[in-house]
């Protein structure tokens, strides 16, 4: 189990690095959008390539940061129900859902995305819009996003099993679960000293 936990931590580090890196593409998309709007208004010039570049950048963030969101437990949950359950029951629900729903879906999507990407790159597929971009990089992002999700799903399953077996500590039930690690440590120190979190 220790080997699997180490592999899970390695996957988590790679996923977090990818997520933090692609998050900067939101800024790039905003800058491209602003430049496109300024050039269009000031010089009456525009290009479909600029619009499609914005879609590519947003798509890269959406696909490649999805695994980071899974790792950080930021996906939508039905908190009205889960808030009333014990941490152990929530872990069993997570394990059940990851194995029966998440993993079959992401493996299937990876399998379907591969020929989708290959056909595009082999044919040199390009946008049907005048002056548009080639399409295979966008399709590569779809494939890459699901591949990263497959690995992160495996990591989540390993961590959940380890927590249920007692090889990893269970997460706390407090609101600080969603805080960055350094703030979470501060919150725990304040609790131990009997002071309110500030």
Across 52-58, average pLDDT = 92
pLDDT tens digits for range 119-161: 999 998 888 888 788 899 999 999 999 999 999 999 999 999 9
pLDDT at 174 over 80: no
Q: Convert 84-153 into a string of H (helix), E (strand) and C (coil).
A: CCCHHHHHHHHHHHHHHHHHHHHHHHHHHHHHHHHHHHHHCCECCCCCCCECHHHHHHHHHHHHHHHHHH
Query: Of 140, 175, 180, 152, nearest to 69 (Cα)?
Result: 152
CB distance 71 to 35 below 8 Å: no
């Amino acid at each position: 189990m220790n080997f699997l936990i180490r592999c899970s931590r390695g996957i988590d580090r790679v996923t977090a690095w990818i997520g933090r890196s692609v998050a900067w593409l939101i800024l790039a998309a905003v800058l491209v959008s602003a430049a496109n709007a300024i050039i269009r208004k000031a010089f009456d010039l525009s290009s479909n390539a600029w619009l499609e570049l914005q879609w590519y950048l947003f798509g890269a963030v959406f696909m490649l940061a999805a695994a980071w969101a899974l790792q950080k437990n930021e996906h939508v949950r039905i908190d009205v129900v889960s808030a009333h359950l014990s941490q152990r029951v929530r872990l069993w629900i997570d394990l059940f859902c990851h194995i029966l729903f998440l993993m079959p879906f992401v493996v299937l999507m990876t399998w379907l995305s591969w020929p989708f990407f290959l056909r595009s790159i082999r044919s040199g597929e390009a946008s049907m819009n005048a002056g548009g971009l080639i399409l295979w990089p966008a399709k590569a992002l779809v494939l890459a996003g699901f591949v990263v999700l497959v690995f992160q799903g495996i990591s989540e399953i390993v961590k959940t099993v380890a927590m249920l077996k007692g090889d990893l500590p269970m997460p706390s039930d407090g609101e600080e679960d969603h805080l960055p690690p350094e703030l979470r440590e501060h919150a725990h120190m304040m609790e131990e000293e009997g002071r309110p979190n500030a």
